[in-house]
Structure 1
Amino acid sequence: MTHVLRVLRLAHGADLSLPRYETAGAAGMDLSAANPADAPVVLAPMERRLVPTGLMIELEQGFEAQVRPRSGLALRHGVTVLNAPGTIDADYRGEVQVLLVNLGTEPFAVTRGMRIAQMIVAPVTTVEVVEVAAVNHTPRAAGGFGSTGLN
């Protein structure tokens, strides 16, 4: 089933591509940087910055958009989305921005139109929170990080 994602291009993103699936089997749509052409966003190693996309989106109720890293940027340059996945709620109406961090060893320049992240639209499940006196026990119990081993 196909759903509709309403997108408003802001003035500073008017000439950039709308988010789109690059291949028929892609789950995510690429987001492009909408910084000025003469002002690349240069990320020093370990620096983080918000990068504008020039887009506002209107999600259907019951959906969210998740902003995730692009694997090529992460592998080749150590550049990733810091709060991955970043969540855009259905009622948010501001500009979509991407929080990038450079975990690499060299400065990285984000240029206008560069594909910097991917956005996945997904359904949201809401729950009713009910306070209880105890929770059911399981064999794992309170075993946390790494408690199930490597193999």
Structure 2
Amino acid sequence: MNKMSLKVERIHKDAILPRSAHSGDAGLDLYSVENIVITPGESALIKTGIKIELPEQTEAQVRPRSGLALKFGITVLNTPGTIDEGYRGEVGVILINHSKNSFTVEKGMKIAQMVVKPVWKVDIIEVEKLSSSERAEGGFGSTGLR
């Protein structure tokens, strides 16, 4: 398997570089550089103190941490959040509190995970009619619950 490099610039003295907790993990943990209280039903943009330069033809997907979701009702609001290849600003994570209790994000806390994925470039071709498929237009629960 080929390995690519992710360039990371620290823009805050307390920033922690993204890293995997285990060697086989798909995601890189993202960390907060600030203390913020998110009240029930509210969302907040959490700063990470880093900027990234993605490899060509990739994107970074920002995803929730399952432990925060299960234990505290905290998740990424626009999951997965997409960081495009050309973006060079600070990586921020929009967290939302779905619980009934306030949640304190602390400096140095793991707040989300970032997965770098390839992006396929496609040519857009307008057609008069699409090919048929077994599924056709079935969606939004069309396969049932069992």
TM-score (norm 2): 0.96
For residue 15 of structure 1, report the CA deviation from its aligned partner. Answer: 3.0
Instruction: Write out aligned runs for 1:41-52 (5 A).
Output: 41-52=36-47
CA distance in 2, matches of 1:64, 1:140: 29
Which residue in the other structure is 2:23 paired with?
24
Q: Out of 52, 57, 61, which is 1:62 matched to? A: 57
Distance 1:27 1:138 in 2: 32
Q: Cα offset for 1:44?
A: 0.6
Moved more, 77-86 or 137-146: 137-146
Q: Secondary structure of 1:87's match?
A: strand
Question: 1:9 is matched with which residue?
Answer: 10
Matching residue of 1:113? 108
What TM-score comes out, normalization by structure 1 length? 0.93
Question: Partner of 2:70: helix, strand, or coil?
Answer: helix
2:134 maps to what in 1? 139
Residue 104 of structure 1 deviates from its aligned partner by: 0.7
Query: How far apart are residue 150 of structure 1 and its match?
Result: 2.1
- Which blocks of at least 5 consecutive residues in structure 2 are unaligned? none
Q: Find the partner of 1:99 among 87, 94, 103.
A: 94
> For each residue in 1:36-74, what CA deviation from the matched residue of structure 2 results, as whole angstroms up to 9, or x when unmatched?
xxxx21111110110000000000110111100000000
How much has 1:136 moved relative to structure 2?
1.4
Deviation at 1:24, TM superposition (A): 1.1
Q: RMSD of the alignment, in Å?
A: 0.9
Number of matched pairs: 145
Give 4+ residue runs of structure 1 displaced > 3 Å after superposition. none
Equivalent pair of 2:14/2:33 in contact (CA under 8 Å): no
- Percent of aligned pairs with the same residue? 52
CA distance in 2, matches of 1:112, 1:141: 48
